[in-house]
């Protein structure tokens, strides 16, 4: 089988490596892929947002199955366009990807179907938003409606900060049209849990839970990033909490999307906060998370392509999806300076014996050598029977990889280990 994976980050590298395990797979194309993915797939220089280019490539190369991983092409309708040409796909159609593409849509969906989430107001008029902020509880959370490269959420600690965020989104249009509408919502507190789930619109199969580490520095200091590391499973996500989430959030979301005529098929990502009043949805994503995928897929024991095809063919309920009982830890190695400005072009050295567990995000091949080309350069994952061992092993591997200016957090999983002792 010829497989096409759309995207070019660490998540896509993890998907490619897992798909490769299926013996029926003869060739994998990554569009556009990256310098690391090139070790495991044929990279094709077509951007993930170039829907026409993606469809043309898939048709010309007789692709048997397509996996669309990033949010942008899903929201732009890549799956709809590929399906029109008869190419089976993993990923939601555009009318379901809106669950991530529009925060206003997702908040209204949750309100309509009583799915627990933060209280909120929607604004299309800047003056009304600014007036509301005169008396809104502080801290408050300002969210641009549309996709904003993961930067569209501002947690404002003061009224002035909140107003500045509103002005930058609605007046200065820092996120373009994504800021035409905004959501202002209640600030929630509690441990965060990411749960990715396979769903075909009929059944939903949650994968092993995980915990992201978004701040750049140790002990959750410094700027927000795309994610500096992950562990799985997340110790805060106990069996009783999982049961509540399934009953109050996962199944109701799948049913709500069906009732709206927007059946979701693919990977639905639940960003949850475990508040004192129970689990609440912080955000939905219409895709696998990055870097959650880099710890979740290594723990998947069932063949990934088989699960994906069952989703496409709406027979997920007929198969068993198994995860290992072990734990995983992924440490991201980034370019010095990230998430602010950083230099590129430094040679990356990865010993052969650990290459299997390295997921490359920002690298390219120059003069036959792999060099850095992005902020988050790569993730290194280890799996083990215990979380302690997974963390130790991941850091041992990190020490064997080098590139100039490389930095990483030293405490990935520390909070989870502490939580394990409390719970
Ligand atoms: P993202 O949408 O991935 O950019 O991340 C937004 C992050 O902001 C989440 O992971 C939370 O940590 C935080 N966040 C979003 N909404 C809220 C909220 N209502 N209360 C508290 N924190 C929030
Ligand atoms: N790790 C968060 C995300 O993929 O959006």
Q: What distance in Å separates the CA atoms of residue 305 and residue 299, rounded to the nearest whole number?
A: 15
Contacts of 270 (CB under 8 A, 6+ apart): 194, 195, 196, 197, 245, 249, 250, 253, 281, 284
Q: Which atom of ligand 2 is least distant from the CA of 291? A: 1
Q: Which of 155, 269, 287 to mutate to test the pocket of ligand 1 (most atoms within 8 A of CB)?
A: 155
% pLDDT > 70, the chain: 100
Q: Which atom of ligand 1 is least distant from the CA of 283? A: 2
Question: Is there an atom of ligand 1 within 6 Å of 281 CB?
Answer: no
Q: Which of 6, 3, 11, 7 is nearest to 359 (CA)?
A: 11
| Average confidence (pLDDT) over 182-193 | 96
% pLDDT > 90, the chain: 96
Q: Which atom of ligand 1 is least distant from the CA of 151? A: 4
In this prediction, residue 423 has a pLDDT band, given cuts at 50, 70 and 90, of confident
- Specify which residues 360 forms β-bridges with: 378
The residue whose CA is least distant from atom 5 of ligand 2 is: 289
Convert the pLDDT of each residue in 251-286 to its tens digit: 999 999 999 999 999 999 999 999 999 999 999 999
Ligand 2 binding pocket, CB closer than 6 Å: 150, 212, 227, 285, 289-290, 292
Q: What distance in Å separates the CA atoms of residue 103 and residue 118, rounded to the nearest whole number?
A: 12
Cα of 117 from ligand 1 centre, angstroms: 12
| Average confidence (pLDDT) over 367-378 | 96
Q: Which atom of ligand 2 is least distant from the CA of 292? A: 1
In this prediction, residue 149 has a pLDDT band, given cuts at 50, 70 and 90, of confident
Question: Is there an atom of ligand 1 within 6 Å of 150 CB?
Answer: yes
Q: Which atom of ligand 1 is least distant from the CA of 185? A: 19
Q: Is 355 in contact with 407 (CB distance < 8 Å)?
A: no
Mean pLDDT of the chain: 97
Which ligand is closest to the CA of 275, given by its number? 1
Q: Which atom of ligand 2 is least distant from the CA of 271? A: 2
In this prediction, residue 115 has a pLDDT band, given cuts at 50, 70 and 90, of very high
Q: At what angle do helices 94-101 and 251-259 cross, to 10 degrees?
A: 130
Question: Is there an atom of ligand 1 within 6 Å of 192 CB?
Answer: yes
Convert the pLDDT of each residue in 10-52 to its tens digit: 999 999 999 999 999 999 999 999 999 999 999 999 999 999 9
Question: Is there an atom of ligand 1 within 6 Å of 187 CB?
Answer: yes
3-state secondary structure of 357: helix
CA 297 distance to own-chain centroid: 13
Question: Is there an atom of ligand 1 within 6 Å of 148 CB?
Answer: no
Q: What distance in Å separates the CA atoms of residue 174 and residue 331, rounded to the nearest whole number?
A: 31
The residue whose CA is least distant from atom 1 of ligand 1 is: 150
Cα of 141 from ligand 1 centre, angstroms: 8
Q: Cα-flanking dihedrals φ and ψ of residue 243, to 5°? A: -65, -45
Q: Is 274 in contact with 233 (CB distance < 8 Å)?
A: no
Q: What distance in Å separates the CA atoms of residue 270 and residue 282, rounded to the nearest whole number?
A: 8
Would you state the pLDDT for residue 327? Answer: 98
Cα of 387 from ligand 2 centre, angstroms: 21
Question: Is there an atom of ligand 1 within 6 Å of 113 CB?
Answer: no
Question: Is there an atom of ligand 1 within 6 Å of 118 CB?
Answer: yes
In this prediction, residue 406 has a pLDDT band, given cuts at 50, 70 and 90, of very high
Convert the pLDDT of each residue in 73-97 to its tens digit: 999 999 999 999 999 999 999 999 9
Q: Which atom of ligand 2 is least distant from the CA of 230? A: 1
Q: Is the pTM of this model over 0.85?
A: yes
Convert the pLDDT of each residue in 299-321 to its tens digit: 999 999 999 999 999 999 999 99
Cα of 20 from ligand 1 centre, angstroms: 34
Cα of 320 from ligand 1 centre, angstroms: 33
How wide is the angle at C-alpha 235 spanned by C-alphas 141 and 397, nearest 5°?
100
Q: Which of 74, 285, 330 to mutate to test the pocket of ligand 2 (most atoms within 8 A of CB)?
A: 285
User: Residue 230 — left, alpha, or beta (φ > 0 → left; ψ -120 to 50 → alpha)?
Assistant: beta
């Amino acid at each position: 089988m010829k497989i096409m994976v759309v995207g070019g980050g660490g998540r896509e590298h993890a998907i490619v490596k897992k798909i490769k395990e299926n013996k029926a797979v003869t060739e994998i194309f990554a569009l556009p892929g990256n310098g690391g993915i090139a070790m495991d797939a044929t990279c094709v220089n077509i951007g993930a947002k170039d829907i026409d280019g993606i469809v043309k490539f898939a048709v010309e190369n007789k692709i048997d199955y397509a996996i669309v991983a990033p949010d942008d092409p899903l929201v732009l309708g890549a799956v709809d366009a590929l399906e029109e040409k008869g190419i089976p796909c993993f990923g939601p159609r555009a009318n379901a990807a809106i669950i991530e593409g529009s925060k206003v849509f997702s908040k209204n969906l949750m309100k309509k179907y009583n799915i627990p989430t933060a209280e909120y107001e929607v604004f299309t008029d800047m003056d009304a938003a600014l007036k509301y902020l005169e008396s809104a509880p502080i801290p408050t959370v300002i969210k641009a409606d549309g996709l904003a490269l993961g930067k569209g959420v501002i947690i404002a600690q003061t009224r002035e900060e909140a107003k500045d965020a509103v002005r930058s989104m609605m007046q200065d249009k820092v996120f373009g049209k994504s800021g035409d509408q905004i959501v202002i919502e209640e600030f929630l507190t509690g441990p965060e849990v990411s749960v990715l789930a396979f769903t075909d619109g009929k059944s939903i199969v949650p994968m092993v839970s995980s915990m992201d580490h978004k701040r750049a520095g140790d002990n959750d200091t410094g700027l927000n990033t795309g994610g500096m590391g992950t562990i799985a499973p997340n110790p805060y996500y106990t069996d009783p909490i999982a049961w509540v989430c399934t009953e109050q959030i996962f199944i109701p979301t799948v049913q709500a999307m069906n009732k709206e005529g927007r059946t979701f098929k693919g990977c639905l990502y639940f960003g949850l906060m475990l508040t004192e009043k129970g689990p609440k949805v912080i955000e939905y994503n219409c895709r696998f998370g990055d870097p959650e995928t880099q710890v979740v897929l290594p723990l998947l024991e069932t063949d990934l392509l088989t699960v994906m095809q069952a989703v496409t063919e709406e027979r997920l309920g007929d198969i068993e999806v198994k995860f290992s009982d072990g734990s995983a830890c992924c440490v991201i190695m980034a370019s010095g300076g990230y998430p602010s400005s950083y230099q590129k072009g430094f040679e990356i050295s990865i010993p052969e014996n650990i290459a299997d567990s390295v997921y490359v995000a920002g690298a390219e091949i120059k003069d036959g050598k792999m060099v850095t080309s992005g902020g988050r350069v790569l993730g290194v994952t280890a799996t083990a029977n215990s979380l302690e061992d997974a963390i130790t092993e991941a850091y041992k591997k990190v020490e064997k990889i080098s590139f100039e200016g490389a930095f990483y957090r030293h405490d990935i999983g520390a909070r989870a280990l502490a939580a394990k002792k409390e719970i």
